[in-house]
């Protein structure tokens, strides 16, 4: 896992590693230097200077020998070495003739790749040269560790951000997502000339369920309610648990108000089946208010005010139904 996380496709491009390979190329006066990472099957180039080379199979990689041994590996003349003389980049372009690589360690004793230099002429390295190359490898390992730490920090930050706007009981967004996520979705739809449907729903008689059976039982009912909601809405719709048994659902662009009403109707029907919890069957039907943006408003605050009116009207008409907002409700409210 640690090696895969460092693959070039998984990480941001590292200017520091590029600078290190450029410096190694100048110090050793070679046409090519690179930092490679070896996984179970491939050699990947994390940074390079001089020539641009892609990934190659592990068995064709000289850096694999560095990973196996954990020590510097030098081949003075590739064409004179039976193990490497037939490799495609020795026989063909760029016709490498010499190789030297030093270990790149992710942790002490854990070699994940090599800092290598290659030349198109045979050459040997002195003990001082090998020590210098090893120092380059040590610095490359340090840079990769910093890169890995940044990846982990970003991952943890994303998890924390997601947790902050997620309701743990239902897996829906919570109120904290309204400003950070929902508002952006509404504005994006408005800018694209699309419609957004907003459904505001709560469960009829939920307080009685809690009072009779207790809050753990009520939580189980809410978790089942969330499951039923998910069976009706699409994956790109945004469900929000506002608190208690109150939910808001922001429906992405569909075929007008009729489509939003169809979703509301399916939700009402889905809640008519009793909730079977711990051997008890309880009724937990729902009332829903429906508004459409931009017809009924262009901001979340305006939509919330009007969808609340529609929900109140649904309850006033006997519950277990949905009501779409219309201008007549404004007159009733006043």
The answer to whether 307 and 199 are in contact (CB under 8 A) is yes
Provide the 8-state DSSP code for 181.
Answer: I
Q: Which two tokens stand for residue 202?
A: 């709560």
Q: How distant, in Å, are the alpha carbons of 120, 174, 290 from that of 217?
A: 75, 21, 29
From 219, 245, 273, 326, the catalytic residue = 245
Q: Please name which of 49, 44, 51, 50 lies closest in space to residue 20, comparing C-alpha atoms.
A: 49
Would you list the DSSP string of 285-322? -EEEEEEEETTT-SSHHHHHHHHHHHHHHHHHTTSSSE
The answer to whether 241 and 167 are in contact (CB under 8 A) is yes
- 94: preceding bond cis by omega (within 30 degrees): yes
Q: Please name which of 106, 114, 123, 112 lies closest in space to residue 30, comparing C-alpha atoms.
A: 123
Q: Cite the DSSP H helix spans in the chain.
A: 2-5, 15-28, 63-69, 88-91, 127-164, 176-177, 183-191, 206-213, 215-232, 257-270, 300-316, 327-333
For residue 247, give the H/E element and its range.
Answer: strand 246-251
- Length of the chain in terms of residues written: 334
Provide the 8-state DSSP code for 173.
Answer: B
Whether residue 211 lies in the annotated active site: no
The answer to whether 246 and 225 are in contact (CB under 8 A) is no
Q: Which residues of 220-252 are buried (b: 16+ CB within 10 A; e: fewer)?
A: bbbebbbebbeebbeeebbbbbbeebebbbbbb
Catalytically active residues, by annotation = 245
């Amino acid at each position: 896992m640690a090696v895969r996380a460092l693959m070039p496709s998984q990480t941001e491009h590292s200017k520091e590693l590029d600078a290190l390979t450029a410096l190694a190329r100048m110090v050793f006066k070679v046409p090519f230097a690179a930092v490679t990472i070896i996984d179970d099957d491939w050699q990947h180039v994390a940074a390079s200077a001089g020539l641009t080379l892609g990934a190659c199979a592990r068995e064709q990689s000289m850096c694999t020998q560095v990973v196996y041994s954990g020590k510097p590996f030098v081949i003075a003349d590739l064409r004179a070495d039976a193990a490497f003389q037939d490799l495609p980049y020795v026989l063909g372009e760029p016709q490498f003739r010499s190789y030297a690589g030093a270990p790149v360690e992710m942790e002490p004793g854990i070699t994940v790749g090599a800092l290598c230099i290659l030349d198109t002429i045979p050459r040997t390295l002195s003990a001082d040269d090998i020590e210098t190359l090893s120092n380059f490898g040590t610095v490359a390992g340090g840079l990769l560790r910093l890169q890995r730490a940044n990846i982990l920090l970003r991952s943890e930050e994303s998890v924390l951000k997601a947790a902050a706007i997620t309701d743990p009981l239902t897996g829906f967004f919570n109120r904290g997502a309204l400003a950070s996520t929902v508002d952006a979705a509404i504005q994006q739809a408005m800018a694209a000339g699309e419609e957004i449907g907003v459904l505001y729903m709560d469960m009829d008689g939920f307080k009685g369920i809690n009072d009779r059976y207790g809050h753990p039982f009520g939580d189980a009912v809410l978790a089942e309610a969330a499951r039923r909601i998910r069976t009706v809405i699409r994956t790109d719709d945004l469900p929000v648990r506002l608190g208690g048994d109150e939910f808001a659902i922001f429906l992405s662009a569909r075929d007008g108000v009729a489509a939003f009403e169809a979703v509301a109707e399916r939700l009402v029907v889905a809640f008519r089946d009793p909730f079977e919890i711990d051997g008890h069957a309880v009724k937990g039907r729902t009332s829903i208010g429906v508004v459409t943006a931009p017809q009924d408003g262009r901001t979340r605050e305006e939509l919330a005010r009007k969808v609340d009116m529609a929900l109140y009207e649904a309850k006033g008409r006997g519950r277990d139904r949905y009501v779409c907002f219309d201008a007549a409700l404004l007159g009733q409210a006043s």
